Amino acid sequence: MAKDFNRIQPAEYLRRYVSQGVRPDGRRLMETRSVSVNVGSVTTADGSALVKIGNTTVLCGIKAEFTLPGGENNDEGYVIPNFELSSVASPQSRSGPPSEEAQVISKFLSDLITRSSILNLHDLCIEVGKLAWVLYCDFACLDQDGSLTDASVVALVASIANLRLPHAIVNEYTGLGEVTGNKDVQLQLNSFPVTTTFGLFEG
């Protein structure tokens, strides 16, 4: 009955809950969803995290690869986020090319990395002008139930905190990148950005 009423009269459905100071899921109006974080969830990734905010579930895995440095002085690496909304995440999700929502979240995460200075991109440079790391941050939404951007940001921060890079050098004979040791280099997090999603309903 409640689902049918919500579908037919969504505004009145919400109004009745709000008038009693609660949300449809039973939370108080200013009460946040519960949050859980599991780091190192993907053993094949260099860093990863599985984040749940309420029922919303986002997985982030980071893969590090060699690239040419960028930036003004050729002394910076790159962080490239790619968000995918799985077709099983919600009834509205479809298989195929990235949805507009997925593209917006990817762009948001890219801007966040740049503007929050979560990482110093200079730390990703192995040798100026010759070699740097590019971090491919792949996100998969497994269950979409609100606060999707918030969960993605937590997954990003937790995955970077979990990231371990191997020692690497430029081989003087081949000029190519070469791993010299185990994964024991941890990047320093300069900030811990947090986002909060909320809605306005009749003021």
Output the domain CATH number for residue 85: 3.30.230.70
Alpha helix segments (H runs only) across 1-147: 2-8, 10-18, 100-115
pTM above 0.85, yes or no: yes
| Cβ atoms of 40 and 48 closer than 8 Å | yes
141 and 70 together in one domain:
yes
Query: How far is 111 from 116, CA to CA, in rounded Å?
Result: 8
Per-residue model confidence as pLDDT tens for the chain (203 residues): 667 777 788 888 888 888 898 988 888 988 888 999 999 989 999 999 999 999 999 999 999 999 999 988 999 999 999 998 876 666 666 665 667 888 999 999 999 998 988 999 999 999 999 999 999 999 999 998 888 999 999 999 999 999 999 998 888 888 888 888 777 888 999 999 988 888 787 77
Same domain, 133 and 77: yes
What range does the domain containing 26 cover?
A: 1-31
Q: Are residues 60 and 147 in the same domain?
A: yes
Alpha-carbon distance 31 to 194, whole Å?
16
Helix, strand, coil percentages, rounded to 5, for the chain: 25, 35, 40
Give how far Cα 25 sits from Cα of 29, 35, 55, 143, 146, Å.
10, 15, 11, 16, 12
Residue 198 inside a domain? The answer is: no
Q: Give the chain's domain count.
A: 2
Note whether residue 195 is domain-resident.
no
Inside any domain, residue 196: no
Domain contains 148: yes
